[in-house]
Amino acid sequence: MGLLDSLRIGTSALLTQQAALQVTGNNIANVSTPGYAREEPMMAATGTSNYGAGITGGAGVKLEDVRRIVDDSLQQRVNDANSQTSQYQVAQQTLQQVESLFNAGTDTDLSSKLTALFNGFSQLVGDSANTSQRGVVISQAQEVVTELHRQAAGLQDLSSQLTDRMNTDVQQVNQLASNVAALNTQIVSTESDGATATSLRDQRDVAISDLSKLVSVTAREQSNGAVTLYLGSQPLVDQGDSRKLMLATSDENGVAKQIVSFADNQGPVQLNGGEIAGIQTTRDGQLAQVQDRLSTLAGQLIWQVNLVHSQGTGLEGVHNVTAANQVADPSAALSSAQTGLHFRPTNGSFFITVTTASPGVPVTSTPIQIDVSQSTSLEDLTQEINDKAAGVGASIDAAGRLTLSATDPNATLSFGPPAGASANTPADTSHTLAALGINTFFTGTDAGSIALQPDIADLKTGPARLAAGLTGAPGDGANAQNLANLGTQTPVAALGNVTLTQYQQQVNSDLAVWTAAARDTATSNQVVQQALTAQRDSLSGVSLDEEAVNLMQYQRAFQGAARFITVVDQMLQTLLAIPT
């Protein structure tokens, strides 16, 4: 081995240790860079040298590669944990917002307002002629209506916000997927000559990590360095190409919903995790259930109160009354869907009482029973009233609403049970009055449309029209008791045989359980995510202590190589100084 070979060995050592120092410096520089994976110089002995006497040895060292310290399997687990955590955090945040909207457990929540309303009815039982108390009941009912409107609007706003957020997330997914595809192309090009595109790979890992928070993706690296990303079993990114996602409208049981699909074939996207899955699952799951149950509660409040109220009497009768609900097809059976009625009559009958109080003539009341069958149409009903009910004129207006009028200007109409009937005798076994909206308390069908009947809401006419009695006799508060019983005593079959207030309390209770479960699930997934992230960081993250040790090691090696070259140079100078 000659001295020139020794110089080459020393030079390779200097260059290699210098490169190793650069790698260490780059690690230190990126100690706080998100997504940066620690790099490690890979050194290897190079060549052979003849040491003389037939003995050979190494010819120095070379920097063979710079390796990123990553565990692809661990990184995939971190990404999966990101997806699960993001999904359940959406559920937790949404349900907490619903809880705040409902304001349960306070003196101003819906439960308190419903209780106040039914207590108000109860207070009318023994003091039915008290117009001030009647006005209080109407005000309490208006508070219930306002609260239902507020909650329905708040839930709808929250649902719309989730859809808007989903749309924004879809656009982010498209951008990130496009970035991954572009980085794939750059990495393949850079590494085609044997180099390692460490910085580009870091950028790609960060993009995939960000993507995993939105949708659950599976990454598979190909032999050329590109990564294929899958959503379920469908590719999202393949080499340098990426597919776009979009929001599409899906019709589920007549309800239009926005779902995520692939833009190229409108195929559904399998969402196994991520923020978008959390949005879609929560919006169409628990949030939709809360909306449905609130509307069910409001619908049954309307129907049950109207059923009772329509069979009672106020402080005075009415000369004419127009139904609140329109019938789309007056010739169709009232029990059919063609009428467009949300609540429909059934077989039975109801009473119309005509009370005449002409000057100088004793007051007389004539109850008229109107029969309603399953096939009776609004036109049939109108004809039957005109044929059978003396003193009553019936007609259908242009909007398809039934109008009843007393033909005698001194007569009034009422709809309670006939005089002499027992207290438990229903005045309308057909539910026609409530279905059409005659002598009712509420209008509307759900939490968004509920309102007080205009003549009830009117402060001038409302107190007198409130049907607290059944007979119209002074002090009669029998129907007020029936209305009060709806709160806590009368189970409703459509609500699972619980009362209106019990059903509302069940909604609050279930919401609290869902929120607690979502919070616990989000917390447990976050703990897993943090543990996996810490495990990844301990492997791929930069440790300043470790880099300080490496720094001293490479520095000493560099100094040793420099000293070695100095010695070899001195030896060469000695040889050159020998006289020839």
Residue 280: per-residue pLDDT: 94
Q: At what angle do helices 500-540 and 288-309 cross, to 10 degrees?
A: 170
Phi-psi region of 378 (alpha: psi -120 to 50; beta: other; left: phi over 0): alpha
Residue 12: per-residue pLDDT: 86
φ, ψ for residue 337, nearest 5 deg: -70, -20
242: Cα separation from own chain's centroid: 28
- Minimal CA–CA distance to 114: which of 300, 291, 324? 300
Phi-psi region of 133 (alpha: psi -120 to 50; beta: other; left: phi over 0): alpha
φ, ψ for residue 524, nearest 5 deg: -65, -40
Residue 452: per-residue pLDDT: 97
pTM for the whole structure: 0.86
- Summarize the chain as % helix, strand, coil (round to 5): 50, 20, 30
253: Cα separation from own chain's centroid: 18
Q: What is the mean pLDDT of each run of 10 residues along the chain (580 residues)?
A: 76 89 90 88 80 67 86 92 95 95 87 95 92 95 97 96 96 96 94 84 94 95 93 93 91 79 90 94 95 96 97 92 96 94 93 83 74 93 93 95 94 87 81 96 96 93 93 87 93 94 94 95 94 89 89 90 87 83
Measured CA to CA, the distance from residue 433 to residue 15 in angstroms comes to 98
φ, ψ for residue 185, nearest 5 deg: -60, -45
79 in Cβ contact with 86 (< 8 Å): no
Element (H, E) at 301: helix 288-309
Measured CA to CA, the distance from residue 476 to residue 468 in angstroms comes to 7
Residue 434: per-residue pLDDT: 96
Element (H, E) at 200: helix 198-214
DSSP assignments along 81-124, one per residue: HHHHHHHHHHHHHHHHHHHHHHTTTSTTSHHHHHHHHHHHHHHH
Q: Which residues are CB-neighbours of 501 under 8 A, at least 6 positions away? A: 111, 114, 115, 118, 487, 488
522 in Cβ contact with 84 (< 8 Å): no
Tokens for 489, please give them.
């005593």
Angle value at C-alpha 499, between 495 and 504, nearest 5 degrees: 75
